[in-house]
Amino acid sequence: MGSAATMSMAMTALCFTKSNKLTSSFRTLPRFTCSSSPFKFNISFSPSKPKPNPKPEPQTESPNQFPDDNEGQLIIPWIVRGEDGNFKLLSEPPPSFLKAMANDKTGTKKSDKNQTTKNKKKSENETKVRATAPPQYSKAARRFYNENFKDSGTRLSKVLAASGVASRRSCEDLIFEGKVTVNGSVCNTPQTRVDPAKDVIYVNGSRLPKRQPHKVYLALNKPKGYICSSGEKESKSVLSLFDDFLSSWDKKHPGVPMPRLFTVGRLDVATTGLLIVTNDGDFAQRLSHPSSNFSKEYIATVNGLVHKRHLTAISEGTTIEGVHCVPDSVELLPSMPDAQRARLRIVVHDGRKHEVRELVKNAGLEIHSLKRVRIGGFRLPPDLGLGKYIELNPTKLKALGGRVNNKVNS
């Protein structure tokens, strides 16, 4: 028994030793390498116990070779079918997969068509806002900027002219002459920004009112013999036709300064018709500047017979002050039973001095009378008599290309 037991124990020890050797040899098997493609496919098994990390050795990595940095890590390559129909191993995801991931949208799809349309419009609007809108700031930030940094107020010369002191140029002369003080100090710069409601302004020793007059827009049917001048020495100025309007100003607007009226553009002394009168300098500049391209329609009554060659000559235009001016349209109006002279409708947009008269004269005709009947989209009312005027409402003012600003400065 003793020898048999001893032999059994020896056989068990031998088997255990062989088992350990087999296990040890299995764990240290060399890596398997797939050589069927230009890429190396390494498979290894992690050991039972973690080994201390050895010092990394410098290796040159190739874009077509899988990294060996993590010992014992199982790396699965990308298997992609190539253009030739064969499978290939890649170390990186294919470009088509990366592009699909980049364009993919997260979230669940909604079956509601209205919601989808709404989201699409919202996305388009957000894209437009991001593309065109300037950076947005909070209300507190904008308020802080306006109160501390923004150059507020209005130019001193403009404030004086709007208050009825004089014309803009005459107000600048008063400022240069030292006749204007702002908060007790003489101001010689017309561009100085002031606020009549806060600043104390004196002109020739008289205090400028804090409140500014309303913006006034008037349409006048100018009679013959009146000139478009705001000079006080002119006895027959078109502004004298508004004496009744100015005399009743205090009753209609108590405590508000009287406006200083002036004409928008000019009509010569012999021309009648539509003329705009206002105290809004910005509006007058927009309406009269050639860049606005507002068309103006005239009815010219001429002496003698009008032939086709006359109309052709007018339509070809003429040179005025070094600029070749061509009318928008020329038309011979039908003869009227009570009128013996021919009438022409001429539409221009340049607004040069005596432009219509020069066009007719260049064609070999003589003007008997000239009347302006339209500016932009506003036409002279047929029931408005000579020397009469009307106040323009917002609708009529819009036809002229302007806007009403009746805000009173307090």
Q: Which helix (H) or strand (E) holds 8?
A: helix 2-27
- Alpha-carbon gap, residue 163 to 356, rounded angstroms: 36
Four-CA torsion 58, 63, 64, 66, nearest 10 degrees: 50
- Alpha-carbon gap, residue 222 to 232, rounded angstroms: 18
Residue 44 near residue 72, CB atoms below 8 Å: yes
The per-residue b/e assignment along 104-141, b for 16 or more CB within 10 angstroms, e otherwise, is eeeeeeeeeeeeeeeeeeeeeeeeeeeeeeeeeeeeee
Q: Which two tokens stand for residue 178?
A: 């030292």
Which long-range CB contacts under 8 A does 245-250 form with residues at least 24 apart? 245/218, 245/389
As beta bridge partners, residue 390 has: 219
- Which residues participate in catalysis according to the annotation? 268
> Residues 240, 246, 249, CA angle at the centre, nearest 5°?
175
Helix (H, G, I), strand (E, B) or coil at 363: coil
- Non-local (6+) Cβ contacts of 238 within 8 A are 220, 222, 226, 227, 228, 263, 275, 277
